[in-house]
Amino acid sequence: MDELSEEQVIDRLFALENEGLAEERAELTDERFLSLIHDDETGRAYVFRHGVDDTEGAEVPQDTEYWEYPRLEEAQRVFRQLLEEASQSGELVEEDSEEDLGDSETAGAEVRDRYAASDEDLLTTEDEGA
């Protein structure tokens, strides 16, 4: 595999995190997050600190940082150290956070199929239409 640029690594880390593949993830103050990510594709592990991406991937959030390690154990040690420092300084909001994870296109009703109001729909009653 070719060496990735810093921007490509950050894009990959956001993608892995949004897919729920972070080993651990903590919410920090000021809408920032700290994640431990093991990339199965490369075998490398990362500690990833970033803010919320309000640009849908157009820009990297300010103060985004990552540290890359050849082994998960090394990354876990650094993640724990940074988490402890955040806790001691009052920056830790939630240690096991899923806040702001996933695709930004999640609002709205779920469309089942074009016949969703059929007899098989558990949300309709038999009195409707009669």
Write the pLDDT tens digit of every residue in 86-124: 999 999 998 876 766 554 333 333 444 444 455 555 555
Cβ proximity of 71 and 102 under 8 Å: no
Cβ proximity of 30 and 24 under 8 Å: no
Cβ proximity of 10 and 23 under 8 Å: no
Residues 25-40: pLDDT tens digits?
Answer: 999 999 999 999 999 9
- Tell me, what's the pLDDT at 63? 87
Residues 44-66: pLDDT tens digits?
Answer: 999 999 998 776 666 787 889 99
Cβ proximity of 34 and 41 under 8 Å: no
For residue 130, with 0-12 CB atoms within 10 Å meaning exposed, 13-18 middle and 19 or more buried, which class applies?
A: exposed
